[in-house]
A and B are shown apart, each in its own frame.
Chain A
């Protein structure tokens, strides 16, 4: 009945040495590796492009309208314009369609059909960009050439073509994340609204959509990030002509310019100059500079999207 009471300290409580935990060490080593890579990516580009900034000045590089590497002129504006224009076209086309599809899936379809649609959309997201590019070259190019004939284009390779192709490519992103955002609104809200006699459409527009706004904005930003960073498909249908800038900025000129060929940050980076430029420090610095601008642009867009996603999560938790 009586328990032998330990006269000395129970040895079983104490360990001898601090045991080294190999798994924990390995895990933290992986973190160090990851940090090194990210720092390396940014740092590398930043350091390597310094000569270009010095040569052109910050304003000169970013707002310079002429890129002639042989003449040592490196102005990135035509490519920045190209990137923005192509992405803008893509968003204008993809956001409404994607949101529409998301609304249909989230408010109308029963759960199993919704899952089926989600799967189809995901498959679409998996199509490699080079296949989109191929479709663009062999199909879209001719369609656009005929469509744009009133504008007298030189070929079907235009910024607009690239934008349309990009719209199809980012459609799955817009749809999937918008649908997630809409589903994030609790069903209780819908039931309450319908209980008051609102139609399904009014409920969707006046109850669900406003509450899903942060998530929808995040979806749009995520899609924008994808559009900004896409290289291969855009490469094949954009025409890759340098120094294409609209004549003016305030009229319809920027819009009109999209009917002509152009160049984006990504298509320049994916082109032959990247391979050729290595031997020439200034040229290489300019290329690295383009990479840095692209990274900064996409990084900023993704960061804002991440903050919005977090905000939406926070609101849901408080509810």
Chain B
């Protein structure tokens, strides 16, 4: 390639990379700039009023936290079971099929999880809009994320540990509890944080199953116990024409949501970076 074309080419690619970074920065800056006025400690702990034009977002925040906590509680046991199945207990063909299923599962649009929850939990089980339905559906949605993260970590445990443990006479399950799970716990934690980050920001799954715009505080039962949720709050308000006061609060709410999601994602970074380093330095037998 001639000199000029070469520089043009790499200049273009650099532009693309810079563009991607600029979009990220732009989103953050836009949200902060426009929502800064409404951001305060009071905003986080007060309830909203006047359809979001005044007050804070405490119950929306609480609702989101309830939903993602439920999702975690539901997803972790099943994810551990599935990860052990794919890395330890299933044979080669079964494991390959499960991996494919997880891959496809991860690609299912989130609105279909909501639809599933609507049919099974809201209608058939008669729960109506319920925080538990929302949590269950979110848990189902993030299951592949947790499972794959943990399974990758289990697979990365060097063979020599398993061989030595089996050589001492440990059964397969004892090897799981005394060698594999302790050494791969980080994978579960980072997967969980990633899953939580995703669940916190999703609107479509909770649209039909758990979220309302107003009239709910904290749930006290399972049936007919919806919650407020941050993403849904933003979603509803974004559809109306807004007066200035509400607009600022909307941006502030968006910022809080981004902060929550980014915070969870950043927490998972150290663990994932460590795996990356280990893999790169050839942490094998």
Contact = CB atoms under 8 A, between A and B. Distances in A.
Interface of A: 21-24, 26-31, 33-35, 37-38, 40-41, 44-45, 48, 96-101, 103-105, 108-109, 115, 117, 119-124, 126-131, 133-135, 137-139, 168, 171-172, 175, 199-202, 205, 222, 225-226, 228-232, 236, 266, 269-270, 274-275, 278, 288, 291, 294-295, 298-299, 301-303, 306
A207 B171 CA distance: 49
30 contacts: A22-B173, A27-B82, A30-B81, A31-B82, A34-B143, A38-B105, A45-B115, A97-B20, A99-B16, A101-B20, A119-B269, A126-B201, A128-B201, A128-B231, A128-B261, A129-B203, A134-B250, A134-B254, A137-B238, A137-B239, A199-B1, A201-B6, A229-B109, A229-B111, A230-B109, A231-B109, A278-B123, A294-B111, A303-B104, A306-B104
Interface of B: 1, 5-6, 9-10, 12-17, 19-21, 23-24, 27, 30-31, 77-78, 80-82, 84-85, 88-90, 98, 100-101, 103-105, 107-112, 115-116, 118-120, 123, 140, 143, 171-173, 176-177, 197-198, 200-204, 207-208, 231-232, 234-235, 238-239, 247, 250-251, 254, 257-258, 261-262, 265, 269, 273, 276
Given A123-B265, A133-B238, A175 B20 contact: yes
Nearest to B247: A138
Contacts of B258: 127-128, 131
Secondary structure type dominating chain A contacts: helix
A123 B238 CA distance: 23
A94 to B, nearest CB: 10
A34 B101 CA distance: 9
Nearest to A23: B173
Contact of B107 (A38, A127, A291, A299): A299
A22 B234 CA distance: 45
A28 B13 contact: no
Given A103-B13, A202-B1, A232 B235 contact: yes
A30 B234 contact: no
Given A41-B116, A128-B231, A270-B204, A104 B110 contact: no
A139 B30 contact: yes
A30 B78 contact: yes
Nearest to A132: B27
A31 B85 contact: yes
Contacts of B171: 21
A167 to B, nearest CB: 10
A131 B111 contact: no
Contacts of A100: 12-13, 15-17
Given A30-B78, A120-B21, A266-B111, A104 B16 contact: yes
Contact of A130 (B84, B176, B203): B203
Given A101-B17, A229-B108, 16 more contacts: A27-B84, A33-B81, A34-B101, A97-B19, A101-B20, A117-B20, A127-B258, A128-B202, A129-B204, A131-B257, A134-B238, A134-B251, A229-B110, A231-B111, A274-B208, A298-B107
Contacts of A120: 20-21, 24
User: Top 6 closest A-B pairs, CB basis?
Assistant: A30-B81, A128-B201, A229-B109, A100-B16, A104-B13, A302-B107
Nearest to B2: A199
B172 A270 contact: no
Contacts of A38: 101, 105
Nearest to B104: A302
A201 B27 contact: no
Contact of B109 (A104, A275, A298): A298
A75 to B, nearest CB: 20
Contacts of B257: 128, 130-131
A134 B104 contact: no
Contacts of A137: 238-239
A123 B10 contact: no
B201 A171 contact: no
A109 to B, nearest CB: 8
Contacts of A274: 115, 118, 208
A294 B23 contact: no
A34 B6 contact: no
B67 to A, nearest CB: 13
A200 B6 contact: yes
A201 B10 contact: yes
A50 B118 CA distance: 18
B115 A291 contact: yes
